[in-house]
A and B are shown apart, each in its own frame.
Chain A
Amino acid sequence: MKYRATMGAARPRLRRRPSVLPGFGITLGVTLTWLALIVLIPLAGLFLQTATLSFAEFWAIVTSRRALNAFKLSFGLSLVAAVINLVFGGLVAWALVRYQFPGRRLLDAIVDIPFALPTAVAGIALTTLFAENGWLGSVLALAGIKVAFTPLGILVALVFIGLPFVVRTVQPVLLDLDAELEEVAATLGASRWQTFTRVILPLVVPALLTGFALAFARAVGEYGSVIFIAGNLPNVSEIAPLLIMIRLEEFKYADATAIAVVMLIASFLILLAINRLQRWSELRTGRL
């Protein structure tokens, strides 16, 4: 007690106990500087450019029929694509981790192709495939389904580029699952399905949500692969990033940034919501 009292008197301002982990100050500094340079300053530029518009002008631009349709298309299809990827990416990850089959390693490598392939190449390849005279397109045409140059084509492209995100986030979690958990569930009388829904799935949900969020974010911002297959008809198959490009080519920079700002805010809110959901499910699985 006496020791502490004298210490306190001599150095009254050193109340904060230093953390045992070194480098807090410097890492925080570097992180913030980097974040500012790479993310915040460009975003601030976006808002500044938009600020040259009056609010009425801004509102007129972002609520124009063409812009609203583009937003609807971009966000709606991105959500649908992310949901599809959530289901099938989850299944692909499950199959790759849980089963041994010939060609497993090859399949594992193929999953990364949408990551690595230039998006324009992907777009052209998908368009060729799904065009009315293409391999798949000609078959689908018999059933009366048109894919290329329709919103359905956009969906196909978005599913294609989003798949690896779900697979790659879920895979390590499945690999880490303890086989004993399933064994103990079986001894307690759980069926395979009960073991899956009550034991495995709850532990994988946070990773599934992360994959979902990444696939969604990627899809919202996707440009290269979509414009080839979309047909790009205003109000029908024109995505928001393309509308931004068109406004830029018309030298209407403020119009372009206004649309961008709306996309930015909407994406941020959606990702924030997913993030909250993820934290909640992680708390529930006792990982934090």
Chain B
Amino acid sequence: MDIGIHNVTKRFGAFAALDNVDLEVRSGELVALLGPSGSGKTTLLRIIAGLEWPEQGRILFGGEDASERSVRERNVGFVFQHYALFRHLSVFENVAFGLRVRPRASRLRESELRERVERLLDLIQLRSIADRYPSQLSGGQRQRVALARALAIEPRVLLLDEPFGALDAKVRKELRRWLRNLHDNIHVTSVFVTHDQEEALEVADRVVVMDEGRIEQIGAPQDVYEEPATAFVHAFIGESIIIPVTVEKGAVLHAGKPTSLGAPDVQTGPARLFIRPYDVGIGMPVNAALQGTVQRLHGIGAARRVEILLADSDQTIEVDVPRAHEVTAGQRVGIVPLRYRVFADG
């Protein structure tokens, strides 16, 4: 089931949680909504589920307008960050809940119900503890029960709100790999919200980067990292060296001096230069784009972290330099960005 989100706007008082958002989620896809807190990603998820109502805009499920349908009728599976398990029901009954509350006409026979629930418990590998209560489970187990409960109703869409947010790092990694495998097996259209970029890039087919109620970029995980569309995306995903510059007729100036870098598509005015720390060559100061003085070196591994104080400013940048490359503290060096992007301010 594909999901269409058209011109959705949601305000809480004067604050626009979502500002004219457009998004298409393709059938069977696993999409991550990624953004800092307050970016509107959870609000968008709740609007898709029908737990919030937009001021304006439409939600389409498979081309059909879902805006008039209540949560009950949308047939979405929703997984909360803090599981929201029914603590007075056993694991089995938690998973069976959605089947038991069906209208009498479509209710399953007890034997069919048992079979369906047990199949789901096998899927989450928790059949052996079907009789336990939520308070007796670990965080990872609880989240898997919550997931099985959502899947029991055979949802058209699966929505997950920071599903791994409350778990410790190791369990989180295991569980997200497990979720990825699960999705590859059952292909239910899924949208999950996260503020963890690693999680989004590892699990999702496509990543939707959001900030301040707007979508900044939609793309494959590699694309949003390699080809960030906006300054926000470049700064938010991965590490960036960010240097304030000015652009004049397509040429980049740092502290008023020409840098030999070009930005033909950027309009004249203040801008910022974005470089990945490993996309920097260190060479002789002469003719280099930027100059600076090495302050400190540290780090282990294939590359060393080098702190460089830029000439003509008081900004220090951190650059990854291959271990083989000779650099010493105090040395004046030239800085040559191998790949860079310039985004106009404002």
Contacts and interface: CB of A to CB of B under 8 A. Distances in A.
Q: Do A and B bind each other?
A: yes
Nearest to B135: A286
Interface of B: 49-51, 70-72, 74-78, 80, 82, 84, 86-88, 97-98, 100-102, 133-136, 149-150, 152-153
Contacts of A284: 88
B115 to A, nearest CB: 19
Given A180-B82, A180-B84, A284-B88, A187 B76 contact: yes
Given A184-B78, A184-B84, A202-B88, A190 B51 contact: no
Most-contacted residue by chain A among B77, B87, B149 (CB, 10 A) = B87
Given A286-B88, A286-B134, A189 B51 contact: no
Nearest to B86: A199
A181 B74 CA distance: 18
Given A183-B78, A285-B87, A286-B133, A189 B102 contact: yes
Nearest to B79: A184
B72 A190 contact: yes
16 contacts: A180-B82, A180-B84, A183-B51, A183-B80, A185-B97, A187-B49, A187-B76, A188-B149, A189-B72, A189-B98, A189-B102, A198-B101, A199-B86, A202-B88, A284-B88, A285-B88
A207 interface: no
A190 B76 CA distance: 12
Contact of B97 (A183, A190, A287): A190
A33 interface: no
Contacts of B88: 202-203, 284-286
B82 A188 contact: no
A203 B88 CA distance: 7
A205 B50 CA distance: 30
Contact of A187 (B87, B135, B150): B150
A285 B90 CA distance: 10
A180 B70 CA distance: 16
A186 interface: yes
A181 B86 contact: yes
A198 B78 contact: no
B101 A191 contact: yes
Given A188-B153, A189-B153, A194-B101, A203 B78 contact: no
A250 interface: no
A178 interface: yes
B87 A203 contact: yes
Contact of B78 (A187, A190, A286): A187
B311 to A, nearest CB: 55
Given A185-B97, A189-B101, A286-B133, 10 more contacts: A181-B86, A186-B71, A187-B50, A187-B51, A189-B102, A190-B97, A198-B100, A199-B86, A286-B135, A287-B135
A181 to B, nearest CB: 5
A198 B134 CA distance: 16
A194 B102 CA distance: 10
Interface string A165-189: 0000000000000101101111111
Contact of A183 (B84, B136, B153): B84
Contacts of A194: 101
A190 B72 CA distance: 7
Interface in A237-265: none
Interface string A206-246: 00000000000000000000000000000000000000000
